[in-house]
Amino acid sequence: MQKRFSTKDLVLYTFLSLIIFLLLLAMYQVDRQWDKLTKLEQSFASQSKDIGSLRTSLAGLDKKIDQGVMVANTTGNLSKNKNEAVPESFKRAYVASQKENYATGDWKTSSFTSTLKTLTPLVANEADSSSVHNYVLESLVTRNPDTLKQTGLLAKSWTISDDGLVITFQMHENIVFSDGEPMTAEDVVFTFDFTFNKDIKAPAQQAYLEPIESVKATGKYEVVFTFRRPYFEALGMAGGMAILPKHFYEKYLGDIEAFNTSKGLLLGSGPYKMPDPTNWSSDQGGVDLVRNTRYWGAVQPPYDKIVWRVIENASARLTTYRNGDLDSYVARPVEYKKLKDDKQIADISHNFEYMPPTVGYSYLAWNQLKDGKKTIFADKRIRQAMTYLTDREKINKDIYLGYAEVAMSPFSPRSKQHDTSLSPRKPDLQKALALLKEAGYEDRNGDDVLENKEGEDFEFDLTYFQGNEDTGRTVLLLKDMYARAGIKLVPQPTEWPVMIEMLNKKTFDVITLGWTSGLETDIYQMFHSSQAKTDGNNFISYKSDALDKIIEEARVIVDEEQRMPVWRKAEAIFYEDQPYTFLKRSKSLVFINKRFQNLQMTGLGLNSSFMPIETYVTKSAQKYH
């Protein structure tokens, strides 16, 4: 016999439910309070460290005063009243800080077009991750954007041995990481040794730094780099290594896999820092950096926060910029002229159109080895034919509206590495068909599709980043171009993390991407045979004994006049072998909110993109507090 559910039971059930709810609420509140207490404890520890440092500084100051030593007023830890006393790497920022309307405060907000996989140094290899690192990590030297020469940053001076194999750096003595711990030469040594730990998944960095034989601390603030052989950019290589704090990262020597799979282990000495250097993850929807109040440099960081938001859709990014919730917008060529004439955009924006000397290039990468087997693209004739079928001028005209130029090799046409006697291959359908026939592909059954001797259609997947509309339009244009020759291109729009995985495992047919570039491009990582390995940057498994020999020869020639003709020989091999079909180099088409001051064009491009403390917002224009 069933019992009926009485009013008394209902009251009791409701009461018990209320008790359970209150218990859960109490547990939640305890967890929140515990989190707050943990953060408060961290804050107190940080403040205690700062107070300790302040006491030490005051004690030193008292001693100097007792000894009659003059102490200069400073804007930052290194700057003094006279501009001449400011280190060269800070002079531009110092000049900005002396302007009448200069102010600190506000946020600088930008966007990413895709979610970052990781921010952890060494294992992060995306350009967007590097943008974040530029604010957090620092190197011994940096490049002067006006003279384009190397100048000291963490290093105040250096000497180079007569044979070029030994570089000795003298470091500034007052540098601290953002957690207050001092930087010494031991941190530089640790960074090098940690990078070359055999279990660290940093093949790109290891390949790049391979010419360095050892890094030794010969004093608390003196560090010596010894090279295995001469290297044409030894100073830039040694001085450009981002220095990692030993006390923060050495704990991962006991669990390298935890480091390799981490998402946000990021701490440095730069002007900005992660709010929590151990706890960032990609599901946060972007990256927030805060001012490093301990920054050691001559000029203090101008902004309270540096913010990036992930906005994959270009239309959404533009709308967000219009609404004032983004401070910069990189325009697509198809919309640039229209936006320049848009009154709302013009009223709120500075706009810049430029082709920096370090502009990178996009390409079609023909994978030559997949699943351990040679692909059709291992045949040079096939690759040459694909370039003849690719009308790059049409792509630039139809998709990029003339705001791009045809790329011919990894070397910029304005670089001394470029052989001016070479010019990009022009589209030629008949040459392409002849090469394809020679390689065994022709229309054997009259269906307007090329087949090999086994009757297999010439068909391949083209993988590309799904969040870039211009790339998507380019792929459709390529599909039509190749179809005219009887080749089937199957577009494969792909999420960025999946693309990275495909590159690492070499599981693609053809992929379109881009490489960043430099004033002089070292092609070892991308094209040397030794880098055709798992997780290596030669992800198409291209191998050329002749190119390997040229790369190795060029890298050890220190004299520029002797080195450049060797690089030009490398360009001739690219022209012949076509490991990539090099597509284009694009102009930067940038809109930046007029709140931002001291935006300047330099020899490296727009200063706001790589000089994190040069720009600012006046007090009256600030919107975030």
Contacts for 122 with CB less than 8 Å, ≥ 6 apart: 194, 195, 200, 201, 202, 205
CATH fold group of domain 120-260: Dipeptide-binding Protein; domain 1 (3.90.76)
Can you name the residues that pair with 153 across neighbouring β-strands?
Answer: none
Do domains 99-114+281-355+587-625 and 120-260 share one topology? The answer is no
Q: Report yes or no: 350 and 607 within 8 Å, Cβ to Cβ.
A: no
CATH 3.30.70.100 fits 99-114+281-355+587-625, yes or no: no
Half-sphere exposure of 448 (CA within 13 A, CB side): 3
Give the type of residue at 516: T
In angstroms, rounded to a whole number, what is the distance separating the alpha carbons of residues 184 and 181? Answer: 10
CB atoms within 10 A of CB 340: 15
Give the type of residue at 360: G
Q: 């991308």: which residue's tokens?
A: 526
In angstroms, rounded to a whole number, what is the distance separating the alpha carbons of residues 217 and 190? Answer: 10
Where residue 486 falls (left for φ over 0; alpha for ψ -120 to 50; beta otherwise) is left
In angstroms, rounded to a whole number, what is the distance separating the alpha carbons of residues 79 and 75? Answer: 6
Element (H, E) at 437: helix 429-438
Flag residues of the chain having pLDDT under 70. 1-18, 20-84
DSSP 103-141: ----EEEEEESS--S---TTT---HHHHHHHHHH---SE
State the chain's mean pLDDT as an integer. Answer: 89
Q: Report yes or no: 132 and 287 within 8 Å, Cβ to Cβ.
A: yes
> What ranges do the domains of the chain cover?
99-114+281-355+587-625, 120-260, 361-586
- Give the predicted TM-score (pTM) of the model: 0.83
Q: Report yes or no: 242 and 183 within 8 Å, Cβ to Cβ.
A: no
pLDDT value at position 147? 92
Q: 């859960």: which residue's tokens?
A: 24
Pairing label, strands 141-143, 510-515: unpaired
State both tokens at 599.
């935006």
CATH fold group of domain 361-586: Dipeptide-binding Protein; domain 3 (3.10.105)
Can you name the residues that pair with 364 across neighbouring β-strands?
Answer: 512, 581
Half-sphere exposure of 68 (CA within 13 A, CB side): 0
In angstroms, rounded to a whole number, what is the distance separating the alpha carbons of residues 567 and 569? Answer: 5
Burial of 57 (0-12, 13-18, 19+ CB in 10 A): exposed
Contacts for 296 with CB less than 8 Å, ≥ 6 apart: 76, 77, 78, 172, 174, 175, 176, 269
In angstroms, rounded to a whole number, what is the distance separating the alpha carbons of residues 441 and 432? Answer: 11
